[in-house]
A and B are shown apart, each in its own frame.
Chain A
Amino acid sequence: MADKQTNIEKTQSDQMQTTERSRSQNVFVPPVDIYETDDEVVLLADMPGVEQKNVDITLENDVLTIEGSIESKTPEGYELVWSEYGTGDYFRSFNLSDNIDQSKVNARVTDGVLKIIFAKTEPAKPKKIKVNLE
Chain B
Amino acid sequence: MSESRDVHINIPVLTRVEGEGALELDVVNGEIERLNLRIFEPPRLFEKFIEGYECNQVIDMVARICGICPVAYQMSAVQAFERLFGFEEPDWLRAMRRAMYCGEWLQSHALHIHLLAAPDFLGFDSAIAMARDYPDAVKRGLNLQTLGNDLIALFGGRSVHPVGVRVGGFYRAPREEEVAPILQRLRDALPATEALVAWTAGLDFPDDEQAFISVALSHPKEYAVGRGNLISGQGLETDISFYESFFHEHQMPYSTALHATLDGRPYLTGPLARINLNFHQLPKPVRDVMETCGIHFPSHNMFHSIVARAIELHFAVFEAVALLERYQVPQSSYIEVPPQEGNAFGCTEAPRGFLWHRYDVDQQGIIRFARIVPPTSQNQGRIEEDVRHSLEKLGLNASDEAIRLRAEQVIRNYDPCISCATHFLKLDINRR
State whether these chains interact.
no
Residues of A within 8 A of B (CB): none
Residues of B within 8 A of A (CB): none
